[in-house]
Structure 1
Amino acid sequence: MNKTLYKVTFLNHGKIYEVFAGRVGSSSLWGFTEVADLVFDVHEGLVVDPTEERLRDEFGGTKVLHLPMQSIVRIEEVEKKGQSAIRDAASGEKVVTPFPMPAKPR
């Protein structure tokens, strides 16, 4: 039996976030949409998606997101999880978090 999966696209601090969740519905808070059971990739090995890691750091301990309805761009019911993303709201380009480089010796 396949579980329902949603791709939720919303505006947050001038950026467009795309996350995947197992549950979306009306919130008990008036004017908000409830997004719960967030889904993140579990990477085994060295290849790590920095965007996925950033989203996991920000929302990993979150039980339920209560998003203002006006911040939601789109909610899609999808067959399988795709790549989560953080995009610039103006250009639509992905915001890339650079890999931390060691400091140069002085």
Structure 2
Amino acid sequence: MSKEKLFKVAFMNQGKVYELHAREVNQSGLFGFIEIGDFVFDESSGIVIDPSEERLRSEFEGVLSTFVPVHSIIRIDEVKKRGNNKISDLPEGANVTQFPSPIYTPGKGKND
């Protein structure tokens, strides 16, 4: 029996921190992007529903994989079991922000 890997991926998107669980995390063929696919959401049909998880489920409904810029990735962990998927605001007073910048900058001369 082969054990499927499970990853927890945290990344910034539109000023919020997204935490998702997925079975596939790969370097993308698109330069500077990480491909995240086979999302894992809570399948229980309990009475208590996490609104953040439901928002993520509806946002990624029908999405096979998503491509996240490398500079937006905060952390990728391989985990044993699934935790909560969530969207959270940055803490009050946090001075962390995405700054768009090129990943590759060509040199100016022959010796650069």
5+ long unaligned stretches in structure 1: 92-106
Aligned residue pair count: 91
TM-score, with normalisation over the residues of structure 2?
0.77
Give the ranges of 4+ consecutive aligned residues of structure 1 lying more than 6 Å apart after TM superposition: none
Q: Indicate yes or no: 2:88 matched with 1:84.
A: no
- Which residue type is aligned with residue 38 of structure 1? F
5+ long unaligned stretches in structure 2: 93-112
Hey, what's the Cα distance between the residues in 2 that align with 1:18 and 1:90? 15
Hey, what's the Cα distance between the residues in 1 that align with 2:51 and 2:44? 11
CA RMSD of aligned residues (A): 1.0
Larger radius of gyration: 2
Partner of 1:6: 7
Identity among equivalent pairs (%):
47
Q: Indicate yes or no: 2:49 matched with 1:19.
A: no
- SS of equivalent residue, structure 1 residue 43: coil
The alpha-carbon deviation at position 49 of structure 1 amounts to: 1.1
The alpha-carbon deviation at position 54 of structure 1 amounts to: 0.4
Partner of 2:70: 69
Hey, what's the Cα distance between the residues in 2 that align with 1:44 and 1:36? 23
Kept after mapping to 2: 8 A contact 1:11/1:89:
no
The alpha-carbon deviation at position 45 of structure 1 amounts to: 3.3
1:48-81 deviation line (CA, Å, top 9, x unaligned): 1111100000012110110000000000000000
- Which residue type is aligned with residue 26 of structure 2? G
TM-score, with normalisation over the residues of structure 1?
0.81
- Which residue type is aligned with residue 45 of structure 1? G
